[in-house]
């Protein structure tokens, strides 16, 4: 066997776990490769995903939340929903997990260069967008992109991911960040109140020479896309990331397809124009 066996996970150690939200069902796992050769082989783009293993519970795909410029570790933010995620949430730092990847196409980095980037997100789908923003904000990369506008919504203030990072971005002139919550919170809140599509409409970012990266729950996407279209974004300038059920991550196991496209290899990132040509099975 010359090529690497794509089914074999590389061992990673949990270095740190951050509880992200008040509901405590979102945790970010900071993972460090046990073997240097695995670390250096794991070269990824924002928007790609990895398969995380908890041995005994199984394996699940998650978007990579860390950025390629964060070279020493991987971050995955995981919501507790099923067997694998449940077991992940039971893990303590020090435990060994497995990682396979990176898989999928990632965001269209080459197309994004030289353009203004609008990022629209809701809930815990922000993970690969964190990766993108961190990568773009890196001093080596920042000038390769135009204006960076981010609209990020959550049900209430306690549900935002990466709160420290968000706080640092709020004072960063390189990024125009707008946070919004669905309804008036009980505690003090400096950000906006309103649903993401409405906030995008109000902010009305220019579509000229821009690309929009949109990740969020299906309902948010459904209402955000028409707003972007109205603002002048063409269908192939609206970029979405899908989350179909996946197993192998390498285009073999046959479950994540939408029409003839496999989310794990042709996606998970698709333009709205591409998705419009596919059956609505996602």
Report in angstroms how near the CB of residue 35 gets to another protein at its nearest.
11
Kindly tell me which of 103 and 162 has the beta carbon lying closer to another protein.
103
The long-range contacts involving 191-195, CB below 8 angstroms and separated by at least 24 positions, are 191/157, 195/153, 195/220, 195/223
Give the helix/strand (H/E) hosting 203.
helix 196-203
Is the CB of 192 or the CB of 247 nearer to another protein? 247
Among residues 96 and 141, whose Cβ is nearest to another protein?
96
Nearest-approach distance from CB 250 to another protein, in angstroms = 4
Interacting residue ranges for another protein, rule: CB under 8 A: 1, 3, 5-9, 11, 53-60, 81-83, 85, 95-98, 218, 243-245, 247-248, 250-260, 262, 264-265, 279, 281-282
CB of 254 to another protein, least distance (A): 4
CB of 225 to another protein, least distance (A): 18
Alpha carbons 247 and 238: distance in angstroms, whole number: 27
User: Mapping DSSP to helix (H, G, I), strand (E, B) and coil, where does residue 118 land?
Assistant: strand
CB of 103 to another protein, least distance (A): 9
Taking alpha carbons only, the member of 25, 33, 190, 29 closest to residue 100 is 33
| Minimum gap (Å) between residue 1 Cβ and another protein | 5
Q: Does residue 158 sit in helix, strand or coil? A: helix
Q: In three state form, how does the secondary structure of 124-156 look?
A: HHHHHHHHHHHHHHCCCCHHHCCCEEEEEEECC
∠ CA 18-22-23, rounded to 5°: 100
Eight-state DSSP code of residue 161:
S
Closer of 103 and 233 to another protein (Cβ) = 103
Planar angle of CA 167, 174, 165, nearest 5 degrees = 25
How far apart CA 265 and CA 282 sit, in angstroms, is 15
Shortest spacing between CB 14 and another protein, in angstroms: 10
Q: Which is nearer to another protein, 9 or 216 (CB)?
A: 9
**Between 1 and 188, CB nearer to another protein:** 1
Tokens of 110: 């080459």
Helix (H) or strand (E) holding 59: strand 58-63
Distance CA 275, CA 72 (A): 35
For another protein, give the closer residue by CB, 85 or 116: 85
Shortest separation between residue 62's beta carbon and another protein, angstroms:
11
Rounded-to-integer distance, Cα 122 and Cα 221, Å: 9
In the complex with another protein, the residue whose CB is nearer, 118 or 258, is: 258
């Amino acid at each position: 066997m010359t090529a690497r066996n794509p089914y074999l996970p590389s061992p990673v150690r949990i270095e740190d776990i951050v509880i992200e939200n008040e509901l405590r069902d979102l945790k970010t796992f900071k993972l460090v490769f046990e073997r240097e050769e695995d670390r250096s082989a794991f070269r990824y783009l924002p928007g790609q995903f990895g398969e995380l293993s908890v041995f005994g519970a199984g394996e699940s795909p998650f978007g990579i939340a860390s950025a390629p410029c964060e070279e020493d570790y991987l971050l995955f933010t995981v919501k507790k929903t099923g067997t694998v995620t449940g077991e992940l949430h039971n893990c303590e730092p020090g435990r060994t997990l497995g990682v396979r990847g990176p898989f999928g196409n990632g965001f269209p980095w080459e197309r994004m260069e030289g353009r203004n980037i609008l990022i629209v997100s809701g809930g815990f789908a922000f993970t690969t967008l964190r990766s993108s923003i961190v990568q773009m904000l890196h001093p080596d990369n920042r000038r390769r992109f135009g204006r960076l506008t981010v609209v990020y919504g959550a049900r209430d203030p306690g549900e935002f991911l990466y709160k420290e990072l968000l706080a640092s971005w709020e004072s960063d002139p390189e990024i125009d960040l707008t946070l919004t919550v669905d309804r008036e919170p009980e505690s003090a809140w400096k950000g906006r109140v309103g649903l993401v599509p409405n906030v995008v409409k109000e902010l009305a970012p220019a579509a000229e020479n821009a690309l929009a990266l949109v990740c969020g729950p299906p309902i948010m996407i459904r209402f955000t896309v028409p707003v972007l279209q109205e603002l002048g974004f063409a269908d192939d300038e609206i970029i979405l990331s899908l989350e179909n059920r996946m197993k192998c991550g390498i285009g073999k196991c046959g479950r994540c397809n939408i029409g003839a496209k496999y989310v794990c290899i042709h996606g998970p990132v698709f333009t709205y124009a591409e998705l419009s040509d596919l059956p609505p099975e996602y």
